[in-house]
Amino acid sequence: MNINRDRINWLGVLALLLVVGYMVFEWTVCRVYVPEGQSLLLRYKGGLLFGRGQMAPPGKFADYEQGESGMIEQLRGPGRHFYCPIWWECKLVPDVVVEPGQVGIARSNLGENLPAGQFLVDGDLGHTNAKGILRKVFGPGRYRYNPYGYEFKVIETEKREDGDQVKTSGWVTIPTGYVGVVTNLSDNPATHAKAGVQDNVLPPGIYPINPREQEIDIIEIGYREKTVQTAQKLGRDGKLVLDESGEPAVADGTSGINFPSNDGFPINMDFTAIWGLMPDQAPAAVKQFGNIAAVENKFVVPQIESICRNLGSTKGAVELLVGESRQKFQVDTSAAFQKVMKEKNVTLLYGLVRHIYIPTEVRIPIQNANIADEMKLTREQEQITAKAEAELREAESKVKLEASRVVVETEKLVAEAIAEGNKQAEQTSAETIQMVAAIDKETAEFEAQATVIAGEAKNEAEKVLQEAKADKFRLAVEAFGSGEAYSNWVFASNLPNDIKLDLFYAGPGTFWTDLQGLPALLGKTIQQHQPAAKPQK
């Protein structure tokens, strides 16, 4: 029995040692601590003690539950993990942090090869079936990814110059007053969008854009001004040089819009266009020209010069200077420019011919003739003005005379009105006194009548009162049946309330005998009604 008991004790100790050893092995050799911001990448080595397992197929993660050895897809997060180094290879990998103003671009290294001509992969981290760049863009945040299966790149705003165009991708900011024209670099099977410039634009905002999928042209919308102006001659003092007619002198005949008139005179012209692009016009502008500067330099300015030259060359110098012909040239130029801008899907608000420089040999004679005409008109107007001034002075004299007459008549009317007012006041006063006397007389008569009526009423009231009293006694006597009964009732009514009556009986022949007790009875009664005697000091 002792041998069996010792054997059991040794087995218990051995089991305890094995458990303690296993725990020590787990917490020293197998324990892996993953700090915050990192993940644990695992590679399964297979059964080294009992033969190696089957290797995972190339380009795929290992399924260790099926005995495949290789990289495991799932990463382990921060915390304490236990993996035996005999079967597992562990490696800490940092998480990817995408800050505001940055985007993350991922590339899948595992899966099937894409068809020819395609390089973008649909899906998400850990959910892709082909090799290539993920179409999805990862905005600001923290991402845990398997570096064996994916490559992760953090980028900011990227700009690429393509001639006159600036293509933006990555972290794209479209400010207020601008739109984003999208250019797809490849087809998108999910949205059925084709490669090339898209018709729909992006409104102002912040967008994460995959530089391998799309590029954005940031186009300003709204109206802008463009003026083609002739250079004017400046003196040494920096001021404009004017010719003999006061017009600015042209510094260079080739600047601005220049062309010969149909009668051979050199003409220079200034032109201003108020034009712009609306949001729905921005994609067409990008397709045709590239950007706003290209629209202005390659289209707007050349069309201004071309239209003005073509229409201006059909006019003579005099037609461009004065009259209805100049106004018609302005209208025709604006209409032609409007038509061309509309054909190219560009909005034109105004197209204005601002100034036309005519040679002095044409302008001065016309100006002198115009000046003579103006002088003639001026003289005629001066005569008309003098005549009108004379009529004005005559009218002023008439006004003064009429004013004086009005003053005199007004004073007369005022005096008459005052006299009439005084007369009416005196008459009113006399009538008032007469009316007061009449009222006083009527008042005295009313008072006398009131005195008489009051006396009569008083006498009548006294008479009625006495009659009422007499009738009262008469009715009382009739009610008691006789005057003696009424007198007894009056006597009884006037007796005091505290009177006391004593009755005594007197039989026949005993009245005088019974009177003997009357003095005692009266004495008692008197004593009861006498006040108590005051004590003597």
Do 508 and 514 touch, CB atoms closer than 8 A? no
Is 20's pLDDT higher than 80? no
* Cα end-to-end span (Å), the chain: 138
How do beta strands 347-357 and 266-277 pair? antiparallel
Instruction: Return the structure tokens found at 471.
Output: 């009738």
Say which residue the tokens 């220079």 belong to: 268
Say which residue the tokens 């003690």 belong to: 49
Instruction: Return the structure tokens found at 483.
Output: 């005057």
CA atoms within 13 Å, Cβ hemisphere of 516: 3
The candidate with the shortest Cα–Cα distance to 120, out of 108, 110, 111, 104, is 108
The residues spanned by each domain of the chain are: 2-93, 96-220, 222-358
Is 341's pLDDT higher than 50? yes
- The angle at the Cα of 97, spanning 96 to 102, to the nearest 5 degrees, equals 115
Q: Whole-model pTM above 0.85?
A: no
Say which residue the tokens 């000091």 belong to: 537
CATH of 222-358 among 3.40.640.10, 1.10.1200.10, 3.30.479.30, 3.10.450.40:
3.30.479.30
137: CB partners within 8 A, 6+ apart: 103, 104, 105, 208, 209, 210
**Distance (Å) of CA 260 to CA 314, 329, 332:** 9, 15, 18
Q: What is the mean pLDDT of residues 476-488?
A: 72
Residue type, 499: I
Say which residue the tokens 């050893």 belong to: 21
Instruction: Return the structure tokens found at 84.
Output: 């035996």
Strand-pairing partners, residue 183, are: 197, 215
Least confident piece of the model among 64-78, 476-490, 495-509? 495-509
413: CB partners within 8 A, 6+ apart: none
Q: In angstroms, rounded to a whole number, what is the distance separating the alpha carbons of residues 268 and 266? A: 7
Q: In angstroms, rounded to a whole number, what is the distance separating the alpha carbons of residues 420 and 427? A: 11
Which one is predicted more confidently, 118 or 8? 118
Do 243 and 360 touch, CB atoms closer than 8 A? yes
| Complete edge-to-edge strand list for the sheet that includes strand 150-155 | 120-121, 132-134, 103-108, 150-155
Is 529's pLDDT higher than 50? no
How do beta strands 222-228 and 178-184 pair? unpaired
DSSP annotation of 240: B
Predicted confidence (pLDDT) per residue in 233-269, tens digit: 887 887 878 776 667 778 776 778 888 988 888 888 8
pLDDT reported for residue 371: 61
Predicted confidence (pLDDT) per residue in 145-201, tens digit: 889 889 999 999 999 888 778 999 999 999 999 999 999 998 888 788 899 999 999
The candidate with the shortest Cα–Cα distance to 282, out of 182, 160, 168, 164, is 182
Least confident piece of the model among 118-127, 210-219, 318-327? 318-327
Do 184 and 196 touch, CB atoms closer than 8 A? yes
